[in-house]
Structure 1
Amino acid sequence: MPASENIPVIAQAYVSDRAKKTLDLVEEFVEKECIPADTLFEKQLGTGEARWTAHPPILEELKAKARKLGLWNLFLPRNHYREGAGFTNLEYGLMAEYLGKSRVAPEATNCAAPDTGNMEVLARYGNEAQKRQWLTPLLEGTIRSAFLMTEPNVGSSDATNIQLSIKREGNQYVLNGQKWWSSGAGDPRCKLYLVMGKTDPTNPDPYRQQSVILVPSDTPGITVHRMLSVYGYDDAPHGHGHISFHNVRVPVENLVLGEGRGFEIIQGRLGPGRIHHAMRTIGAAERAIEWLIARINDDRKRTFGQPLSAHGVILEWLARSRMEIDAARLVVLNAAIKIDQGDARAALKEIAEAKVLVPQTALTVIDRAIQAYGAAGVCQDTPLANLWAQIRTLRIADGPDEVHLQQLAKRENRARRAEVIAKLEAQRKKAESLLVANGFSVPKSHL
């Protein structure tokens, strides 16, 4: 069945005919070109240190095919940016689900993190010179980039803790400090770091101390110490770098938007970034359910004289997985619609819901598939172990679950407490008056 015929009914009215046609192209491109190429991509990377310098030819072949099909820069929403392919967040969300089923598909369509978020920063906040120098080659897919925010020596889930120093000296800024989990920094094509640090550490407003600055990756004083693994996976050539800055000097014109605007920028960046991760994660969960179905229908894998599909517990896993993915998808699409109707700030609640719920759902589904495969599920013979490792990081990346849950609860309580208390009190008084009017006594309550 074409992808366009699987769009949830609730979203149908928001999807253009052009987007539906593109969605079908994305599905076909991912299923027939990208997923089969994932294995070749890994082989072309090679082994050892060579994995950090290799650029698999299959990727450029796929990029050429994607551009020919018009599947390029799909992520920049039309109501916020002029540089993209002209789709809404909702329409891209449906497409990103398919991109999330393949390792190479996001980059093949120039829709891979962290470049997507970095391009959004440059498109939204960058000046014309910054756009010419950095946004144009990123949109063309000729370079890659990294976003440097998290630090090793502080609790980075609270971004006010960030310590990297950005001091102005004449017509330059001087950077000193460390960053890690700098995703994308391992790629030899990574030419740009978007770095968050403090330009005004004594500002009484802790949210006006930070700024974002553009740093070419070959600037003197930068040391890339190592690439961090994700549950043992090196994520080459993308990588997650541990990087230090020692008297790194960049021109003052490399500052984005202005001093003290860092929080404003990262909120504008991380909102769409979180929803993009959630969109792709739905695709990863769908990939897992496909592997689950294949396993339980493999007649060679009988247990206790029956195929796995005859066991009630396995069928329950499949049923629950189907319901949970479908419910999570609706949460993601609801957030995308809310962003389209306003912006990421107007959809903070919906984004937080998707950011927390979707990775947890996907991990549950992937884990069931792993369990169905037994020992095979935890090795390289299926994509399931790698999928689990990648999705598990999303419960930490872009803010841990606990931070989003706390903010979501505070926002919900603040918005509704007065209304709810007043409503319940009015209902109580009405109930008591009805009892008295009809000859009943008012019962005592412990509340």
Structure 2
Amino acid sequence: MDFNLSPELTELQARIRRFVADEVIPLERDPRCGAHGPDEALREELIGRARRAGLLSPHVAPAYGGLGLSHFGRSIAFEEAGYSLLGPVALNVFAPDEGNMHLLEEVATPAQKEQWLRPLAAGEIRSCFCMTEPAPGAGSDPSMLQTTATPDGDDYVISGRKWFITGADGARLAIIMAMVPGVGATMFLSDMAAPGIVLERNMDTLDRCFPGGHGVVRFDGLRVPASAILGELGQGFRYAQVRLSPARLTHCMRWLGAARRAHDIATDYARQRQAFGQAIGRHEGVGFMLADNEMDLHVSRLTILHCASVLDAGHLALHESSRAKVIVSEAVWRVADRCVQILGGQGTTSETAVARIFADMRAFRIYDGPSEVHRWSLAKHILRGVKPHAAAGGHA
């Protein structure tokens, strides 16, 4: 595969890099960054800056206000955005909105796109994706879905409880996965202000980069019309995969940028900090960690570019997205961990961005499927004789 960048993509990469350095990184210490992510005023300021720079929602089709980047193009843009934990918020490519916009583009009706996709792409509203449930409900095993949507005349009445719902606090749109009795899992669209939706609480988590944090949401007889069905009845799990494979990859892109930032900070420190008669980077203990970082970053980028190219060519098999998610999530975590170690005591403080990257990145090995589940899925493919290095393949 040819991973050379076109002149247009090279220029866009440079623009985003300058924008993040000049417009985003200076806001990282803004007091509006709280325990549950940047507040709405800060998000709106970041969105406004990206809009003025012509960089807003680069993944969305131009018809809805974006730049219409291919998956390969997104891999370049999203890495640059991820160099600051606020960068994805500014460019409107943060989770879950980015994945939700992709899903709406692929599945929604024209009316649903006008109602929800257009304002999402403009950064005017936020959204959440309501699938994960407390035990005994759906987590890594979506077949355990407990939330129900019961037909009642021309409407559906949704009841159930969700948690770890990223961005629920302050979201305008909810995409809800529920089981329709006798039909199967189905996705529904709802205004979060609708009667019957209760945000019980925000969960205190290690990460602080997602606007709205992570909420516990209860549906108490939420009534939605049939026109709120996203796609077709009973096809919810299939649409989840439409969203999930690209979303796993875009997480990899953004966190690669964050890992590169941590590595750059650690490298500068290793050049300057003196110990035992020389810069610490010249000691093998530190120098080898920097070398290992470089290799992990390189392998992660090649993995992402390969998968993005496969997506652009047609279809990325679930086992390929599983493989990429494990490779990259564990590689960038190793990078962040080494950077903390190189910085020593500094790495455990807010003196640099490394500690914040380290804390925010840890959850990536869990969400969108923990590494252990992906390894289990890959093992099943291997035992069935499906080569994990195939360029394409069917659903798991």
User: Do both share a fold (TM > 0.5)?
Assistant: yes
Larger Rg: 1
**Structure-2-length-normalised TM-score:** 0.91
Q: Read off the aligned partner of 2:111 and give its amino acid letter.
A: A
1:161 aligned residue? 144
The verdict on how the C-alpha distance between 1:379 and 1:11 changes in structure 2, with shifts beyond 3 A counting, is same
Q: What secondary structure is seen at the aligned counterpart in 1 of 2:3?
A: helix
| Distance in 1 of aligned mates of 2:319 and 2:72 | 17
2:205 aligned residue? 230
1:322 aligned residue? 294
Give ranges in structure 1 of 5+ residues lacking alignment.
1-8, 204-208, 418-447
Q: Pick from 199, 206, 211: which aligns with 2:180? A: 199
The verdict on how the C-alpha distance between 1:228 and 1:331 changes in structure 2, with shifts beyond 3 A counting, is same
Shift of 1:85: 1.2
* 1:349-370 superposed Cα distances (whole Å, 9 cap, x missing partner): 3322211111111111111111
The verdict on how the C-alpha distance between 1:416 and 1:240 changes in structure 2, with shifts beyond 3 A counting, is closer
2:15 aligned residue? 25
1:256 aligned residue? 230
| Distance in 1 of aligned mates of 2:46 and 2:215 | 26
| Distance in 2 of aligned mates of 1:77 and 1:280 | 20
1:430 aligned residue? none
2:196 aligned residue? 221
Aligned ranges 1:125-164 → 2 under 5 Å: 125-154=107-136, 156-164=139-147
Q: Which has the higher contact order (CA 8 A, sep 6+)?
A: 2
1:56 aligned residue? 41
Matched, 1:379 2:349: yes
Q: What secondary structure is seen at the aligned counterpart in 1 of 2:365?
A: coil
Shift of 1:216: 1.0
* 1:14-63 superposed Cα distances (whole Å, 9 cap, x missing partner): x43322211111111112221122222xx134x68xx7894335x44443
Shift of 1:375: 2.4
| Distance in 2 of aligned mates of 1:245 and 1:216 | 12
* 1:400-420 superposed Cα distances (whole Å, 9 cap, x missing partner): 112222222222332358xxx
The verdict on how the C-alpha distance between 1:340 and 1:368 changes in structure 2, with shifts beyond 3 A counting, is same
* 1:284-320 superposed Cα distances (whole Å, 9 cap, x missing partner): 1101111111221224xx3344431231110000111
Q: What secondary structure is seen at the aligned counterpart in 1 of 2:205?
A: coil
1:11 aligned residue? 3
Residues 37 and 208 in structure 2, CA contact (< 8 A), matched pair in contact too? no
Report which stretch shifted further, 313-322 or 125-134: 125-134
Q: Read off the aligned partner of 1:366 and give its amino acid letter.
A: A
1:421 aligned residue? none
Q: Read off the aligned partner of 1:198 and give its amino acid letter.
A: M
Q: Pick from 53, 62, 68: which aligns with 1:86? A: 68
Q: Pick from 212, 221, 244: which aligns with 2:187? A: 212
What is the aligned-residue RMSD (CA, Å)? 2.2
| Distance in 2 of aligned mates of 1:325 and 1:77 | 29
Shift of 1:234: 5.0
| Distance in 1 of aligned mates of 2:232 and 2:109 | 11
Aligned ranges 1:255-274 → 2 under 5 Å: 255-274=229-248
Residues 11 and 333 in structure 1, CA contact (< 8 A), matched pair in contact too? yes
* 1:352-395 superposed Cα distances (whole Å, 9 cap, x missing partner): 22111111111111111111222221222222222122221111
| Distance in 1 of aligned mates of 2:322 and 2:107 | 23
Q: What secondary structure is seen at the aligned counterpart in 2 of 1:394?
A: helix
1:121 aligned residue? 103
Q: Report the count of equivalent residues.
A: 386
**Structure-1-length-normalised TM-score:** 0.81
| Distance in 1 of aligned mates of 2:333 and 2:307 | 20
Give ranges in structure 2 of 5+ residues lacking alignment.
388-396
Shift of 1:10: 4.1
Q: Read off the aligned partner of 1:30 and give its amino acid letter.
A: V
Q: What secondary structure is seen at the aligned counterpart in 1 of 2:318?
A: helix
Q: Read off the aligned partner of 2:21 and give its amino acid letter.
A: E
